[in-house]
Structure 1
Amino acid sequence: MQAWLTAIGIPWSSAMLKPALYKLIQLHKPQAEYVCDKLAAERGFRVIRLPPYHCVFNPIELIWAWVKREVGRRNKTYKIGDVKTLVLETMEAVPQDLWPNSCRHCDEDVDKAWLAEGLQREHVASIVISLSDNESSSESEDDDSE
């Protein structure tokens, strides 16, 4: 940490501990530049990154939290085999309305986040990225079968 700060000409004190050095590094480290951000900006768009595995924007994380909570509540033996059985049973018992409710909850949180960024759902275009040169899904299916 000290060597990096010295190499880029940022003064630091030998009395500084790692947390203070880390804060100093965070202040001076260059921001990552991504090709997709540049391409989007050239076309008048801005990339908005959502945190992965974060329950606020990912409904499956809410479902998983429910499963873990139920397994924890029902777990009496704390043996790995019993926990595995409980997980499988609990996953089969996820209430039918939990998934649409989780999706609705995440959609509301996404809308709030967009508003905080000065955006609204109708102003954000959906983007579909095709991973093949073929426009037809039937051609892709034929390729898969070969």
Structure 2
Amino acid sequence: MFAVKRGSAQIENAMPPVVKGLGKWKSTGIKHDKNLYKAQLLELVRTHKPAPFYMAVAIATMYGHHVSYTPPYHPELQPIELIWGNMKGWIGRNPAKTIGDLEEMVATSQERIMSKEWKDAYKEVQKEEDKYLCVLEEENIECADASDGEVESNDSDSQAESF
């Protein structure tokens, strides 16, 4: 079976593109030719498939929060990637000769990461987020976060201090 990430359980399965699900899908009211072949129906199902709605999003929405996802392959928006880069750099400058030494180096590099590094990484990510928001504002592209107003530097400092 496949492993499911925490909080990624879907509330409702999107229309399943399988033959037994086609009967249920036909009752959704989307107009289609009754003489379509299975492959054509499956393509129609794919084009009208709703976006998945996850339980974590539902819970956050219930409590008045908005969930935003970072785009894939953008490590500059993930503080953990900056911390991991620091750890890898330190391990690379102090190469291990055995697996035991490597395990010790990893543990030592983890101990070297203090709250100051996390705060700095968080602030760095916020600078990157601000760059993205500036581009959105310059292009007059509306998004949920940009319409709420700009984040002042004092707010970001106070948020970083809470970590």
What is the TM-score when the length of structure 1 is the normalising length?
Answer: 0.48
Higher relative contact order (CA 8 A, sep 6+): 2
